[in-house]
Structure 1
């Protein structure tokens, strides 16, 4: 049987598919060296990596990721399920997750459920891709689907929320702690008529922010705090809720919204009805999306530690070189209060008035 000719470097035409073995034979190195040159995380010198890539380009060699996955039983792909791309917080999350996943030598597959579609409905299609891990953001799965993933040894992490009793990992900011920080800040700055505008009632992010806020106010002997149901994490929900609250005879002097995008709606509503922010009403959000720092909003908010959350998710899923955690793990990471021009120190103003009198 005649041996297959090895394509020579500089050849204009390639009559047969070039393999990693061909490139290795041409350079006089092992086939594993070729594989390492095309891996983001493998140990190989820059000089050798450059030699391999140049030779591969001239020979017309291109690694076959699918074929490699059949050998290694790993696709090096991570699925990200994101049910909400409208809220400006989630594009920030998506960017950070993709950067972290790619830095670890993996690629991402993005799945976005259609309006009204449950995450469980897309999971059978997702699992066909044999992904190495799944990250759920602004979404959750059923206990039955969690068991299916466990049976397939596919680790799953819920990002930015957790579901009590669900047998999957979870990484979130410490929303209870964030709510407590807001309560401490508003009371310390002399606000007395407070209100919390909630979003989705069943979301742990919403429940924990409200719980931390309300519980801390009771500890600080603040017994009067309005609660308004916005219904969802959206600009429209914050806008409508703020109008209802601020048109009352005894309106609040501070509004704490369950998210930044809701707070933006609240600020615009306040201005529309002739109120000044923060002279008439202070407004606080949660997330610290890029828009919060714009001069037109200058929103005081709780900054979510998205980068640290993403790194923690990678660690839990076993995407950093360590094995994935077998037992369900929930990590809560503290956020940071960022003060801007949407809030006012009323205690300082009151002191100045007393001094002037």
Structure 2
């Protein structure tokens, strides 16, 4: 056959789940003889060949991990991937970046191919996926193929490792109060994304808990440069202007600050700005941009170590959430 046969093909042929197929081919003795024979006969019929190497053949010197994402142009994804490039050698990992143009349509097919071949596990970073998408994915993951996510959803189904966005919002508001700002504002990220809601909730809760502060400006952004431009235009029309604004990512903050400068607004004298992610652009903006630092190398190292631990564990995968701490980097904009 010219087309490589996958576990999904065997599942269709036999009527068994991908997990059952995977366990039978791995030599599990937990299945009836009829089930084993059906699977093995289908594998022979379809000329299924596995590239997996038994762990008993020789010691594992490294792990092959697929980093699956809907890669977009820009500093965020470049910084995210570079964090994995830095962390991979420390965990004896060879990392492969897999970019999906249409993740909802392609993800299940690709995971089937990865688990069939030489990958030891996968890390997902696809913020567009919903809980329903994860339900469909987890149904087809073989038990011996570990997978974690770096994208936050509420009540996660996979092990999820991401940054502590709630503490970031809390930290931003606290910094503003310490600097004497009482009237503050926030440019939010997409309401559909849990990361956005966590950042907003942390900020709003801190303001609510401190009667001296007042949130006088909110703008619904979309994590892109244009949202920052639009946020500034909304700020200009605001009857009571904040003296400090937390912008929920650096790209929107860049759009805001450049548009503000063109309009003659002085940063931070007229309005202080604080971004999120601490991307390289923060050092190229004038004034230098204050930002919440998300350490991508730390995120990557924690993710890889967790994935390896899952690979070598006999326990079932469950949806645990681990949060990586963030910090505030002070520069000239706030």
TM-score range, shorter chain: 0.7 to 0.9
| Corresponding position of 2:113 | 128
C-alpha displacement of 1:166: 3.1
2:220 alignment counterpart: 229
RMSD of Structure 2 on Structure 1 (CA)? 2.6
1:85 is aligned to 2:77 = no
- Counterpart-to-counterpart distance in 1, 2:199 and 2:319: 23
CA distance in 2, matches of 1:84, 1:129: 18
Cα distance per residue 1:17-72 (max 9 Å; x no partner): xxxxxxxxxxxxxxxxxxxxxxxxxxxxxxxxxxxxxxxxxxxxxxxxx9974444
Q: CA deviation at 1:291?
A: 1.5
Q: Is the 8 A contact 1:198 1:206 kept in 2?
A: yes
1:171–1:277: structure 2 CA closer, same or farther, 3 Å change rule?
same
- Gap regions ≥5 residues in structure 1: 1-65, 344-357
Which structure has more relative contact order (CA 8 Å, sep 6+)? It is 2
**What SS is found at the alignment partner of 2:155?**
coil
8 Å CA contact retained: 1:241, 1:266: yes
TM-score of the superposed pair, with normalisation by structure 2 = 0.74
Give the secondary-structure state (helix, strand or coil) at the position aligned to 2:308.
coil
Contact 2:299 2:324 in 1 (8 A): yes
Aligned residue for 1:194, secondary structure, equals strand
Measured in 2, the distance between the counterparts of 1:211 and 1:120 equals 32
Larger Rg: 1
What's the TM-score, normalizing by structure 1?
Answer: 0.70
Q: Give, in whole Å, the separation in 1 of the partners of 2:138 and 2:310.
A: 23
Among residues 175, 195, 199, which one is paired with 2:165 in the alignment?
Answer: 175
Task: Check whether the contact 2:122–2:147 (CA below 8 A) recurs between aligned residues.
Answer: yes
The structural deviation recorded for 1:281 is 0.8
Query: Could you tell me whether the CA contact under 8 Å between 1:318 and 1:324 is conserved in 2?
Result: no
Counterpart among 219, 222, 234 of residue 244 in structure 1: 234
Q: How does 1:1-357 map to 2 (within 5 A)?
A: 69-72=52-55, 76-114=63-101, 117-130=102-115, 131-139=119-127, 140=129, 141-149=133-141, 151-159=142-150, 161-221=151-211, 222-230=213-221, 232-294=222-284, 296-318=286-308, 323=313, 326-343=317-334
Contact 1:317/1:324 (8 A) holds in 2: no
Aligned mates of 1:67, 1:212 — CA distance in 2: 48
In structure 2, C-alpha distance between the alignment counterparts of 1:129 and 1:243, rounded to whole Å: 47
Q: Provide the secondary structure at the position in 2 that maps to 1:128.
A: helix
Deviates more, 1:70-79 or 1:92-101: 70-79
| Aligned 8 A contact 1:291 1:297 in 2 | no
- On the 8 A contact 1:87/1:233 being kept in 2, the answer is no
Deviations 1:233-257 (A, max 9, x none): 1111111112211243432221211
SS of the residue 1:142 aligns to: helix
